[in-house]
Structure 1
Amino acid sequence: MSEALKVVIDLSEKVDCVLSGDNKVKSISAKGTLTVKNPSRRNKVWSCELQLGGVSSTSLKEERYDVGEVPAGGTWTLEYNIPVSIPLISLKETVDTYPKDSAINWAVAFNRVTPVRCIITLTNPSDIFARNIEVRKRIPKGFGDPSIEPPQTGSAEYVSETREVIWRGFDLAPGAEATLAINMAVKPEEVKPIGAGEVKLTYQIVGSTASSLTPDLYCISDLRFGVEPAESLSKPNFWDCTLEFLNTSDFMELLLDVEMSLVSDGRSPALSLSPNVELLPHQSWSYTFQVESPELPVFETKFNYRVAYEVKRSVYTTVVKEETLLPVMKVEAEKIFAPAEVDAYDKTPMSVTVNVFNVGSAELDAVSIIDTVPEDFRAPTSDKIKITLGDREITSGVTIALEPPSAPIEQSKTLKIAVAGLSKIGGFKPGQTMKVFYPVVAWGPKPKGKYLA
């Protein structure tokens, strides 16, 4: 006996999502295709009618569709859109440019080799298995070859020809999480932000869909039936009748109910059955009954049957995370003395201005200035030092130290000024200038020409 076929209702859906560099959903769309597939090579199906529940979860407006006839090996399709807000699997990439501490740092230093650590985390908050997971992380030009920490789930490798780290060979169970860490380095030669490379995630869901469509398909195929009456040998005017159905198709067919009327007796009811039996290909089902009739009975037969079907569901998802942009830190400074020249051996008050220019693309939270007060100059006290950013004076988050703290005037001193917490007041933005003002006194300078300051 050949294998019984079923008409296939295939619900195949595709979700496409784009995440921004900071892991937020930038765009997402979902489309689906419902396909009625006839797997038989010789039998068509006809009188096909599709009923759909859950259409409100899609763009579809109708619940009933007249499919009609689907030839052997043929298909019938219906397309729809699905409103979704987030993908099933959560993708998060953390890019850290100073992985030595617990804080996440987001900028690189101009013309210096800066380590970059990328941590890709996948989380499945649903109750559905995600299968055939693959993650591709692009390594941009300018970055060195990456070092990959062996993941606990799946395997990861660097493909130098395409400059991609490929992580694959695993599924993600409901509630599970998987992490991949990639270490690399870059030496910025320009101040414009550097892209750390996009991440592409693909996976498949089998047995479930993003939509809530519940299809029911009625269709029929080849079936034969007949009634054979034989006059009873023991009871006059009675007939022993055999009703037989034969499945002549490749499909499994379901015989649901049968109604028979005796036409020769004014259409009086003769038989009412609900067999609810499955008929495999070339399998028959029969039923014997007896009717009373003075002549050869003639029947009118009505029956209801259908071809069996199965529903297959799948979702293929692609998530592309745009590359995280790493701003470049670069500052330049100038130091101005006023007046620029003083008389030897005199005690001359002077003012010092240190201009710090943010010429990079990174907004800075902290700045450190290491200045020199030359010998024969009296250093300022902390209360005389003034710091401004734009038109705002900075008074909090400032640390000032003079080293050595009690050095004589004849000795050179180091003045250390640290300003932190600038992000609390809007940050030290690219293009801005920070100014540091303080007084010094030329305390009997020697006539040696120039002092190193």
Structure 2
Amino acid sequence: MTFAVAMYNLYDKPISNVKVVKTIPDDFSDPVIRETTEGRGEVEDNKIVWTIDKLIPEETVLMKFTCSIMVTDITKRRTGPIEVTYKANSSFAGGLAIDKYDAYTRNKFYVDTVERDEEPGVWDCKLVFENPSEFILQLFNADVYSPEDESEKFVDIDPKDVSLLPAGAQWHSNKWRYESEELPAFRKKLEFRVMPDFQTNVNGTISISDVILEIASITGGMSYDLTQVPTYKEQDVIAKLKIINNGSAPLNEIAINQQYFTSEFNPPNASEVTMIWDGDEVDLPSNSVKFDSNVFRISLKNLRNSDTGLFMPESILEFEYPIHCVNPVKEATFESEITYLANTFPLSQELEFRPEVPIIEALHLRRKFRIGKEVIPIGALGKYQIILTLENIGTAPLQNVVLMDKVPDNFEYGSYSGGKPQITDEVGEDTLKWTIDLLNADDKVEISYEISGTGEYSPSDAQLGL
């Protein structure tokens, strides 16, 4: 089971040190963090802990985790409370200001002097001012000049050109060139001030009470009335789909997706789809059926405001529609995938169920058969045995094959083997007729009967086959 926890920052400033603790009840086991769009999630005993360093204004973040639960009934389950702590800037302190202050703090400055590699006695010099304190400093004067002549300044700043220095920051002057065979020495005068500042923070705590979990679940199945169709012929296969709400939560949205249609296996039109709700046929709005990007889709949305109402527990929803098989070639197949989707109101994690879908095969079956007749003299003069044979020499089963034989004039008949015939007058008088219901490939059936000539008869008449 997948859970999702979402947070949205309503402040106009970022919040920090966000910590979300979700308690996992004993009914659930094996919690696993699946996704966090921000921060990091961890499992600690029976708790999910989600920490976020900073959450900017008007941003939504999401954490998904899964748990296992053994459900043997549709009893509602408690999901466990959520505790949230965070730190934010105070909104009520916006009008406060510092009227007067005194401050002393640490400071550090020095001059870096580096003699050039290829010019002995020529030095590159630079003044560095550091803020080793925990306060913000403003450097508003920095003078470096020659010890012999104060009018010869090497560093002279405009306070507007020097940014405020936060704790740990450095300011570097421009380098100057100085020539001396001795180690350079300079006179320095620096002036700075501590900038007044104050911060106010709000530590927030949010408790979200235990949410009662309805058990939302769907199951179902599907079938075709045919799984084999002939090649190079047009034929419809009826798809029958069934969705069952086997949970305890009413469902507000139902969707069916079937994909992988081809030019030989086409989806139905909207008008060809039949919907049956708990045994009663219900009108399906035409805009609920779409075919786009090779996906046939049936969508039922906002059922709570429809004539049918919500899809309640133990209800059954059925759909029937044709799959149009259009002259499929030899060995063509329709291997489709069907997905049932459902959701509640308000929206929760979408339910998904994939029924097993049979494969429709195009069979290249061509009927080939052989019918024979044999006349064998037996016993006394004028007595003959007639043997009729039907042999399936093709690959397709033969169904409802009719064998007929006309008894010659002036002959009596009887002693049947292989089934008693129907006696008709379809081809003159005394036409014997047998119907073979099914004859599989490579099978053979043999039927025989006897005739006896009376009066003026012609034995050659018995050779006539129908």
RCO higher in structure (CA 8 A, sep ≥6):
1
Report the TM-score, using the length of structure 1 for normalisation: 0.30
Report the TM-score, using the length of structure 2 for normalisation: 0.30
